[in-house]
């Protein structure tokens, strides 16, 4: 990701200093601002890695989900649920993947209202290659060791659970 020169100070710490003079909730503001900034940085890096494959991270996740499914095919509604995205988002993702030749969509044989997405051989190949590239780049989290990665996952799990992400 093309960025300018690093700032000579941590802008989140400066925001926390300013925030503390006016409001409560400094630890929460500092944490959420850090989380959102890291998300921006990681998504930018992952998108850069996936761009040569003609993928966004959302498209990549959809290909991997199909790759993991028993028959390399799932109804769009089920995909939206599993990827936790709105139905219009999964339709948009599938249109882009279909235009790239990575999936094909067809009517569900048992449910006339549903559409199945099928992973193509080309889609399977790009999912494998893109995964190798992401793994080689540590999914953008190379600054953390395995213990820190596990800790990060554990720290975020209660937030996800409280938000209704899973039971």
Interval 70-108: pLDDT, tens: 999 999 999 999 999 999 999 999 999 999 999 999 998
Whether the predicted model's global pTM rises above the 0.85 cut: yes
> What whole-number percentage of the chain has pLDDT above 90?
92
Q: Which CATH class is domain 54-159?
A: mainly alpha
> Partners of 103 in the beta sheet?
119
For the chain, the structural domain boundaries read 54-159
The residues that bridge with 118 in the sheet, in sequence order, are 73, 104
Mind listing the pLDDT tens digit for each residue in 54-70? 999 999 999 999 999 99
10: left (phi over 0), alpha (psi -120 to 50) or beta: beta
pLDDT digits (tens, 9 = 90+) for 29-46: 999 999 999 999 999 999
User: Which residues pair with residue 74 across a beta bridge?
Assistant: 117
Neighbours of 71 (CB within 10 A): 9
Return d(Cα 98, Cα 123) in angstroms, integer: 9
H helices within 23-162, ranges in order? Answer: 26-50, 57-68, 76-83, 87-99, 121-136, 146-162
């Amino acid at each position: 990701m093309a960025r300018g020169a690093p700032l000579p100070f941590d802008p989140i710490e400066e925001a926390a200093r300013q925030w503390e003079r006016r409001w409560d909730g400094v630890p929460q503001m500092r944490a959420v601002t850090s989380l959102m900034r890291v998300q921006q940085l990681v998504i930018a890096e992952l998108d850069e890695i996936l761009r040569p494959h003609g993928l966004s991270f959302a498209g990549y996740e959809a290909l991997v989900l199909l790759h993991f499914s028993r028959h390399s095919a799932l109804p769009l509604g089920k995909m939206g649920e599993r990827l936790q995205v709105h139905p219009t988002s999964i339709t948009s993702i599938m249109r882009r993947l279909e235009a790239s030749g990575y999936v094909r969509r067809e009517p569900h044989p048992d449910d006339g209202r549903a559409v199945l997405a099928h992973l193509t051989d080309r889609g399977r190949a790009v999912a494998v290659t893109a995964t190798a590239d992401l793994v080689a780049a540590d999914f953008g989290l190379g600054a953390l060791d395995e213990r820190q990665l596990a800790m990060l996952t554990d720290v975020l799990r209660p937030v996800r659970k409280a938000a209704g992400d899973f039971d």
